Amino acid sequence: MVMAKKRIVVLYGGRADEHSISCISTAGVLAAMDTERFEPIPVGITKDGKWIIDGEDPRGWNLDGDELPTVKITPKSRPVILDPSRGKDGFFAGEPDHLSNADSGFGTSFVNLSDPEIHHVLTSLGHVDAVLPVLHGPYGEDGTVQGLLEMMGVPYVGCGVFASAACMDKHYTKVVLNAAGIPTAPGIMVDARAFTAADVVAQIEVAGLAYPLFVKPSRAGSSFGVTKVDKAEDLETQQDRVAAAIATAGEHDWKVLIEQGIDGREIECAVLCPKAGDEPEASWPGEIVLDHQNDDQFYDFDSKYMDASASHVEVPANLPVSVLEDVRDVARRAFKAVDGAGLSRVDTFVTPDGTVMVNEINTMPGFTPISMYPKAWDATGVGYTELITRLIEGVLK
């Protein structure tokens, strides 16, 4: 007897700065998905939040082009409309935007609010068994889409509303982890909408933060808006440096973290827990090794995604096995502390004395060809296709 394939909506794109990275992650996911078991239904979200189907095929996207890919409305793309009351049968598509079918006499019609003279006929996308939201950053990794799917009663891969929201906000990640006895980098939080450089520098002194500092948006990902701030010789220059760094981070989020630079190695650990209630598994921890070292470089957006020659992944990281096991233990504890589900990548600092502290938790880590999460599991014995299969089957009901 041939089993019917499970139909999986794969969400990608989105309104966040990480839009293009989501697109490239989705290309990898679709290429690796077991199509003998699953029928993927790719649904793209444009940068301004429009949901579409039948746009440009994401399978052809990669990091090799001159421009990063984006979800765009095309002549053949159709708008996707959700009816939360219908649950797994609540996914519909209209005709392409250039068509109007008000008098066709079939389907369900709705009014285009941007042009009330245009009506669209809706066609069901069929029964959906689960959703795989390959979305990074705000409006996708922060609990918003998760809440929508919860209201619809549609199973989805990944962390729930609370864990997604808490881990999207690096400040609240610290609050939760510190309450669980898990150390994080010392830091303070600043409101970029209302601050004075003098007051912030004074707060840094009171908090005892040692330079260099890293100033970053609290609710953004992929190293957008991150600035390294070194110690200046005079107070005025220091205030100017801090103010400029806050302004840069503030372009992405008014809530800005100022953290003490940690004298340690950045070690990342992939966590997997496909089925709710199971004990989370931790991969061998890995390390991003920068190939062009200099005193001012850190692992920024370009190093992560745009320049394959800038770094490479080493799994397991070149550390004693006892330290690697400590990282795995901290990663599992951190995942459970935030009520994680499905998957996460726990990024840690390992100091020279072997102390492990959590830097951040990514609840939908990158799945690009050079991303740590799939590479770490592959090195631990779980291949890319098996990884996706386990994640999807863990939420099917």
Tens of pLDDT, residue by residue over 158-213, are: 999 999 999 999 999 999 999 999 999 999 999 999 999 999 999 999 999 999 99
The per-residue pLDDT for 386 is 97
CATH of domain 166-182+264-394: 3.30.470.20
Q: Are the CB atoms for 167 and 173 separated by under 8 Å?
A: yes
Q: How many residues does the chain have?
A: 397
Lowest-confidence segment of 80-89, 123-132, 170-179, 282-291 by average pLDDT: 282-291
What digits encode the pLDDT tens for the residues 299-316?
A: 555 555 555 566 789 999
359 is in an annotated binding site: yes
The annotation status of 335 as a binding-site residue, yes or no, is no
> Listing from the earlier edge strand, what are the strands of the sheet with 187-191?
187-191, 255-260, 213-217, 227-229
Side chain identity, residue 157: V
Kindly tell me if the per-residue pLDDT of 289 is higher than 80. yes
2: confidence class by pLDDT, cuts 50, 70, 90: low
Annotated binding-site residue? 354: no
Least confident residue range of 91-95, 166-170, 273-277, 369-373: 369-373
Whether the predicted pLDDT of 291 surpasses 80: no
| Spans of all domains in the chain | 6-145, 166-182+264-394, 187-260
Q: Is the pLDDT of residue 295 over 60?
A: no
Confidence of residue 90 (pLDDT cuts 50, 70, 90): very high
Whole-number pLDDT of residue 266 = 95
Of 43-47, 99-103, 261-265, 321-325, where does mean pLDDT reach its minimum? 99-103
Euclidean distance between CA atoms 154 and 127, whole angstroms: 11
Contact 356, 327 (CB under 8 A): yes
Class of the CATH domain delimited by 187-260: alpha beta
What pLDDT is attached to residue 108? 52
Average pLDDT over residues 332-342: 98
pLDDT at 373 over 70: yes
Map tokens 């709705």 to a residue: 110
3 confidence band (pLDDT: 50, 70, 90):
confident
Widest CA span in the chain: 77
182 is in an annotated binding site: no
87 annotated as ligand-binding: no
Known binder of ligand: residue 231?
Answer: no
**6-145 and 187-260, same CATH topology:** no
Strand boundaries in the chain, DSSP class E: 6-13, 38-45, 51-53, 78-82, 91-93, 108-111, 119-124, 130-133, 187-191, 213-217, 227-229, 255-260, 265-273, 281-282, 286-290, 311-314, 342-350, 356-362
Residue 274 pLDDT exceeds 60: yes
pLDDT tens digits for range 228-263: 999 999 999 999 999 999 999 999 999 999 999 999
Q: Which of the four CATH numbers 3.30.300.20, 3.40.50.20, 1.10.1740.10, 3.20.20.80 does domain 6-145 have?
A: 3.40.50.20
Above 60 in pLDDT, residue 111? no
- pLDDT for 118 equals 55
User: Any binding-site annotation on 264?
Assistant: yes
Higher pLDDT, 161 or 293: 161
User: What is the C-alpha separation between 69 and 293, in angstroms, rounded?
Assistant: 29
Please indicate if the annotation marks 307 as binding a ligand: no
- 88 in a labelled binding site: no
Annotated ligand binding at 216? The verdict is yes
Flag whether 259 is marked binding. Answer: yes
Query: Which pLDDT band, with edges at 50, 70 and 90, does 332 fall under?
Result: very high
Distance (Å, whole) CA 297 – CA 343: 29
Catalytic annotation, residues: 18, 222, 371
pTM of the model: 0.88
Least confident of 35-39, 74-78, 98-102, 214-218: 98-102
Q: How far apart (Å, rounded) are the C-alpha atoms in residues 274 and 395?
A: 7
Q: 265 a known binding residue?
A: yes
Q: What is the mean pLDDT of residues 269-279?
A: 95
Across 2-16, 109-123, 224-238, 382-396, least confident range = 109-123
Residue 297 is assigned to a ligand binding site:
no
Would you say 186 and 258 are in contact if contact means Cβ atoms under 8 Å apart? no
